[in-house]
């Protein structure tokens, strides 16, 4: 149900969101990555502790905002604004603490990991700024949604895919094999974005409003 002015503003049940197997699997994979790889590093440095904590907040708030969009009811519109700003701030802190770690531990970090972080970090800040511009200036919720969907399945997912060999204890982890996981991650991200957009577009079309949620909900 898409909100329009004067329309019955029925609210969805909390479990009745944008259900997607890919969204669920991606979120669980991100949590596995953060807890499995991150928790042991919490005390390695101040930057590590902050980075891992805000990365968890970033992942959860992004996943929540993809599961429940403003079109699902007044309560979700309010929650979307709050969690959206939390995600933007957490994402920014995650990026800058990541850069700090990259500089501090440049000599010991695998080359593939450094390359992937630079690529995904740059993409993340571009998509964050683009998403804010699309919703705050252009007032185009559909474009904002697309930018955030791409960010979730690339900037958040790709670093986790990059470290997958480490996560399963593969003896070649940290070598060129780690960098070789990226094409697989790119393919998975492409299909996840495509599937998510098709599902949300179908919902918006059925409700008769391609820009789900009014611009006032930004």
Predicted local confidence at residue 100, as pLDDT:
95
Whether the per-residue pLDDT at 151 is higher than 50: the answer is yes
pLDDT of residue 204: 64
> Quick one: pLDDT band at residue 214, thresholds 50, 70, 90?
very low
> Cα separation of 56 and 70, whole Å?
22
* CA 52 vs CA 40, 42, 84, 86: distances in Å: 10, 7, 19, 15
**Considering the chain, what is the average pLDDT of its residues?**
84
The pLDDT score that the predictor gives to residue 32 is 96
Residue 210 has pLDDT above 70, yes or no: no
Tens of pLDDT along 172-200? 666 666 667 777 777 878 888 888 777 77
Residue with tokens 């070649």: 172
Question: Is 155 in contact with 121 (CB distance < 8 Å)?
Answer: yes
> What's the rounded Cα separation, in Å, for the pair 138 and 134?
5
Mean per-residue pLDDT, 161-173: 80
pLDDT for position 175: 66
R_g of the chain computed on alpha carbons: 18
pLDDT at res. 86: 97
Express each pLDDT in 94-135 by its tens digit. 999 999 999 999 888 877 778 888 989 999 999 999 999 999
**18-77: pLDDT as tens digits:** 888 888 999 999 999 999 999 999 999 999 999 999 999 999 999 999 999 888 889 999
Comparing C-alpha atoms, which of 91, 80, 165 is closest to residue 122? 91
pTM of the predicted model as reported, rounded to 2 decimal places: 0.83
Rounded to 5°, angle at Cα 146 from 150 and 26 = 40
């Amino acid at each position: 149900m898409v909100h329009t002015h004067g329309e019955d503003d029925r609210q969805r049940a909390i479990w009745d969101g944008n259900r997607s197997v890919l969204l669920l699997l991606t979120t669980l994979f991100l949590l596995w990555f953060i807890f499995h790889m991150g928790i042991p590093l919490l005390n390695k440095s101040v930057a590590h502790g902050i980075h891992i904590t805000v990365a968890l907040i970033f992942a959860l708030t992004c996943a929540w905002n993809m599961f429940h969009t403003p079109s699902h009811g007044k309560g979700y519109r309010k929650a979307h604004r709050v969690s959206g700003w939390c995600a933007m701030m957490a994402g920014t802190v995650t990026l800058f603490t990541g850069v700090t770690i990259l500089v501090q531990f440049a000599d010991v970090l695998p080359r593939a990991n450094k390359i992937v972080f630079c690529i995904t970090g740059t993409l993340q800040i571009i998509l964050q700024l683009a998403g804010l511009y699309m919703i705050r200036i252009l007032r185009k919720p559909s474009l904002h949604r697309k930018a955030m969907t791409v960010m979730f399945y690339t900037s958040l997912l790709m670093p986790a895919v990059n470290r997958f060999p480490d996560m399963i204890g593969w003896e070649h982890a940290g070598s060129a094999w780690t960098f070789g996981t990226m094409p697989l991650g790119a393919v998975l991200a492409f299909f996840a974005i495509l599937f998510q957009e098709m599902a949300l577009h179908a919902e918006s079309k059925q409700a008769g409003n391609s820009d789900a949620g009014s611009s006032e909900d930004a």
